[in-house]
Amino acid sequence: MNTVAHVAPRVTGTPSTDRVLVEWVEDIAALTEPDRIHWCSGSQEENDVLLQAMVDRGTLIALNPDLRPNSYLARSEPSDVARVEAATFICSEKPEGAGPTNNWRDPQEMRQTLTNVFAGAMRGRTMYVVPFSMGPVGGELSHLGVELTDSSYVVASMRIMTRMGSGALAQIEAGEPWVPAVHSVGYPLRGADGQEREDVAWPCNDTKYIVHFPDSREIWSYGSGYGGNALLGKKCFALRIASVIARDEGWLAEHMLLIEATNEAGKSYHIAAAFPSACGKTNLAMLQPSIPGWTVRTLGDDIAWIYPREGRLRALNPEAGFFGVAPGTGPETNPTAIAALERNVIFTNVALTDDGDVWWEGLTKEAPDHLIDWRGREWSPDSGRPAAHPNSRFTVRADQAPSIAPTWDDPEGVELDAILFGGRRATNVPLVTESRSWAHGVFLGATIASEQTAAAEGTVGQLRRDPFAMLPFCGYNMADYWGHWLDVGTQVGEGAPKVFSVNWFRRNSDGDFLWPGFGENARVIDWVLRRVDGDAGARNSSLGAHPRREDLDLAGLDLDPETFAELMTVDRKSWLMETDLIADFFAGFDRVPGTLLAELAQLRNRIERE
Ligand code: GTP
Ligand code: SPV
Ligand code: MN
């Protein structure tokens, strides 16, 4: 076979003056052999050119500018619609570094594998150099990265989701540390023999690797163009790599939304909440409270970095946009998101209407008579399949949400008053429980279980433990991560936020939700914050403290006492079983902190005595 000598790529944009960065870019180009290298500035003109090229190529469909100005629809390959946890690896020096909940690979072996798959992977394409800052550019708590990618969809998405471009590059050139991240969709347009092939609308590869080297703080992602697999600032950096940096530096990188809630008296509080993927973070982040006089403002909907400062915890959203689940987002469930999506949006895998707008299940009560579904096929309400993929998403800048908090891009973050942990639990878990202490709160976080959603490949509906909603996102040994949470609490002491568990998803025997959820969740937030201030009543169960019916503000809500009782029931037998399941779960780790084992023993004791 003839191999064609690689010609030096043509360079556009303004290359960096940073020698280390330039050498790394050259090294990756030598490996992946792109035809062109473009240094991204992040400018509007650059973005316009990229978007137009994607429209011309069929990667994006421009939506009707009268209905949805400056907005686009992308349709991915049906094989590339969600995170691939089975192909996500943590390559710490030793397997114990990754722990039993992560896929570990030997770093040397993985480097060889990556060298093989990345060799020539960008032939015929442009390699974009994408400098970005997680957190405001120049902020003391912010961190920098550079993603090299051959996907212009990724470039346009990173421009929405992060502070991307020359500002971040200037920080790197000033000597700030940065995380290198290499991404290829794995669909070169020319073979090693020079044989050319046509591009496709959504290039990707059946072979996928989402790889993290926590010791050298590097990310390599191959084969997928979708979401957290490809927008490397998000889960790969801001959670998996950042959790390792946070462990070493004494802070926390968390899968949490962040809000400011202001009560009718005008007093404001900050709350962070960890729920697993597609379990309501975006909804709670944009909550329109049903209690008169209350407001909730959004700081973040997916990730929070949390730092101990002077006896308190401060939190910051490192992202600049929302990559939110479309289905279920409607004028009733999330009017704020609907308002945020009026313009400047990239939609992925939703349906297209006949007048060039978008639709998904839950946007309107009645589906349109005719649509083009997420795979580009004809669709009507009797097609018997969803028009939008269950994990279809919108990508939009955070400050387009009318609820955005003025403090959302404050580089110092905000002071936390409460932390919530939640999951999707049809049974057992009451609407809200206040922890007995920080250690008990860490136990609540460590034992979150949730029915699986479409956000990752796997069996939807299956119950799995998802500690701290970080099961797919913790960059090191989960048991050590629990220990780190315990340490941070000890360090902060009295000023630590109060910890609660919540469950919006409990169902009755007919399968209906017992709690109305959405805007009504404000009633739970109200109780939580009054508990923080010591102003609300409660009763104790073996699980912790719960509101009695009279402790919640239920004015204007039709919730009968029987339903409320069912919502709050702590069933002794089920909870004895639950403690067995937790014991089994803990048994899968060889270094669970003694404090958490003691919490489990005490819980079991309380239930047995009940
Ligand atoms: P990721 O972006 O995947 O991390 O997820 P997320 O937690 O931000 O997910 P999102 O807020 O988009 O979750 C949406 C799903 O949660 C939809 O199916 C909603 O209908 C459902 N949901 C959100 N809040 C509530 C609620 O209060 N009650 C009920 N029953 N469902 C809710
Ligand atoms: C999640 O799955 O938790 C997400 C979407 O927030 S993704 O960015 O694809 O990971
Ligand atoms: Mn998420």
pLDDT at 172: 98
Burial label, 539 (beta-carbon count in 10 A; 0-12, 13-18, 19+): exposed
For ligand 2, whether the C-beta of 88 sits within 6 Å is no
Q: Taking a C-beta distance cutoff of 8 angstroms, is the pair 115, 387 a contact?
A: no
pLDDT range class, residue 3, cuts 50, 70, 90: low
Q: Which two tokens stand for residue 398?
A: 């955070």
* Averaged pLDDT for residues 124-148: 98
E runs forming strands in 240-381:
252-254, 257-262, 268-274, 295-300, 304-309, 312-316, 321-325, 346-348, 351-353, 358-359, 371-372, 378-379
Choice among 419-423, 448-452, 540-544 with the minimum mean pLDDT: 448-452
DSSP output for 113-179: HHHHHHTTTTTTSEEEEEEEEESSTT-TT-EEEEEEES-HHHHHHHHHHSEESHHHHHHHHTT--EE
Residue nearest to atom 20 of ligand 1 (CA): 328
For ligand 1, whether the C-beta of 423 sits within 6 Å is no
pLDDT at 221: 99
User: What number does the ligand 1 atom closest to the CA of 323 have?
Assistant: 2
- The model's pLDDT over 206-234, given as tens digits with 9 standing for 90+, comes to 999 999 999 999 999 999 999 999 999 99
User: What number does the ligand 1 atom closest to the CA of 285 have?
Assistant: 11
pLDDT range class, residue 553, cuts 50, 70, 90: very high
Mutation pick for ligand 1 pocket among 161, 283, 287, 425 (CB with most ligand atoms within 8 Å):
283
Choice among 168-172, 220-224, 453-457, 544-548 with the minimum mean pLDDT: 453-457
pLDDT at 2: 55
**Catalytic status, residue 279:** yes
* Averaged pLDDT for residues 278-289: 96
* Averaged pLDDT for residues 505-524: 96
Residue 140 pLDDT exceeds 70: yes
- The model's pLDDT over 305-358, given as tens digits with 9 standing for 90+, comes to 999 999 999 999 999 999 999 999 999 999 999 999 999 999 999 999 999 999
Residue 245 pLDDT exceeds 90: yes
For ligand 2, whether the C-beta of 208 sits within 6 Å is no
Mean pLDDT of the chain: 97
Mutation pick for ligand 2 pocket among 183, 212, 302 (CB with most ligand atoms within 8 Å):
302
- The model's pLDDT over 366-396, given as tens digits with 9 standing for 90+, comes to 999 999 999 999 999 999 999 999 999 999 9
Q: What percent of the chain has pLDDT over 70?
A: 99
- The model's pLDDT over 391-436, given as tens digits with 9 standing for 90+, comes to 999 999 999 999 999 999 999 999 999 999 999 999 999 999 999 9
* Averaged pLDDT for residues 156-175: 98
Residue nearest to atom 17 of ligand 1 (CA): 328
For ligand 1, whether the C-beta of 453 sits within 6 Å is no
Q: Taking a C-beta distance cutoff of 8 angstroms, is the pair 359, 371 a contact?
A: yes
Residue 116 pLDDT exceeds 70: yes
Strand pairing class (418-422; 545-546): unpaired
* Averaged pLDDT for residues 581-599: 97
Residue 202 pLDDT exceeds 90: yes
* Averaged pLDDT for residues 581-594: 97
Helix axes 438-446, 478-492, angle to 10 degrees: 160
**How far, in Å, CA of 430 to CA of 425, rounded?**
9
Choosing from 91, 204, 279, 474, which is the catalytic residue?
279
For ligand 1, whether the C-beta of 452 sits within 6 Å is no
Q: How far is the CA of 450 from the centre of ligand 3 (A)?
A: 14
DSSP output for 331-350: TTT-HHHHHHTSSS-EEES-
Residue 544 pLDDT exceeds 60: yes
Mutation pick for ligand 2 pocket among 221, 235, 346, 393 (CB with most ligand atoms within 8 Å):
235
| Domains of the chain and any CATH numbers | 10-58+85-249 (3.40.449.10), 253-320+407-609 (3.90.228.20), 324-400 (2.170.8.10)
For ligand 2, whether the C-beta of 323 sits within 6 Å is yes
For ligand 1, whether the C-beta of 519 sits within 6 Å is no
pLDDT at 173: 98
* Averaged pLDDT for residues 261-275: 98
Residue 1 pLDDT exceeds 70: no
pLDDT at 459: 81
pLDDT range class, residue 262, cuts 50, 70, 90: very high
- The model's pLDDT over 6-53, given as tens digits with 9 standing for 90+, comes to 789 999 999 999 999 999 999 999 999 999 999 999 999 999 999 999
Q: How far is the CA of 381 from the centre of ligand 3 (A)?
A: 30
What phi, psi does 129 have (nearest 5°)?
A: -100, 115
- The model's pLDDT over 554-572, given as tens digits with 9 standing for 90+, comes to 999 999 999 999 999 999 9
Using CA atoms, how far residue 559 sits from 182, 551, 566, in Å, is 52, 14, 11
